[in-house]
Amino acid sequence: MAAECTENITVIVPTRAQSETLSRLLDQIKRFGLSFVVVQASGTTMVPGYADINAGGLWLQAPASRGGQVAAGIAECNTDWFWVLHDDSEIDIETVERLLNVVASGTPRWGRCNVYFKERGWPLRVIAAMMNLRSSLSKICTGDQGMFFHRAHIDSVGGFPAQPLMEDIELSVRLKGCAAKDFLALPAPLGTSGRRWLEQGFILTILRMWWLRWRYFFGADPGVLFLQYYRSGGIRPQ
């Protein structure tokens, strides 16, 4: 049965486990009056009472696969628009208002926000600026940038890619192929965690990310890449 998501946009939050960062994000989402669906990975522990404390949306479980979890969340909603946020994201009123203006325009769009890292330091500011510039030029979004899209766009490409890794890249490539003119680099801030960059080092993280992308573009299975990435030191999504 479809969820009673009465707003015209629903926030989809795939997560591996409940955490303080997830609680803070849900508090922000509820403060701005947005509908939301949290999709937790199957097999992970549900902390007793956690969903009740963070009530106000729909809680689901789906097999551990970020793309599959997002697809499961979309399937449970009747809204026209979706905004996918990682559980360590941070939103503010400016971002919400700009996105709601896009929704109110009545024109189907897809795109992302301007990401920034919550931790301080000029290297992270440079990396965020380069990520946003690259995305604006290439129309390839990453999950950290808070992808948003209209249901018509998702339907036109056969649904959200239900894969454990590179789901954001795959969706961008598909949408770019059929709806490039509808892409929007929303000039609104979206916070994310820089822990991967700080813990693994900037150069190693960049090399690992591009190594994965090149392998994916040349046909590597996303499930295999997922296992290899996290076994090689990647930080598993929360």
How does pLDDT run across 136-149, given as a tens digit for each residue? 999 999 999 999 99
Q: Which two tokens stand for residue 209?
A: 């990310």
CATH number of 9-196: 3.90.550.10
- Amino acid identity for residue 22 in this structure: L
Separate counts of helices (H) and strands (E) for the chain: 10, 7
Rounded average pLDDT over 177-197: 95
Radius of gyration of the chain (CA): 17
Rounded average pLDDT over 25-50: 86
Q: Do 116 and 128 form a contact (C-beta atoms < 8 A)?
A: yes
Q: Return the pLDDT at 44.
A: 74
Rounded average pLDDT over 196-211: 88
Confidence of residue 189 (pLDDT cuts 50, 70, 90): very high
Distance, in Å, from the CA atom of 191 to the CA atom of 64, rounded to the nearest integer, reads: 24
Distance, in Å, from the CA atom of 78 to the CA atom of 94, rounded to the nearest integer, reads: 25
Mean of per-residue pLDDT scores for the chain: 89
Distance, in Å, from the CA atom of 89 to the CA atom of 145, rounded to the nearest integer, reads: 9
Does the pLDDT at position 47 exceed 70? Answer: no
Q: Which two tokens stand for residue 127?
A: 């990396």
Q: Do 39 and 86 form a contact (C-beta atoms < 8 A)?
A: no
- The residue ranking higher by pLDDT, 185 or 47, is 185
Rounded average pLDDT over 59-84: 95
3-state class (DSSP) for residue 85: coil
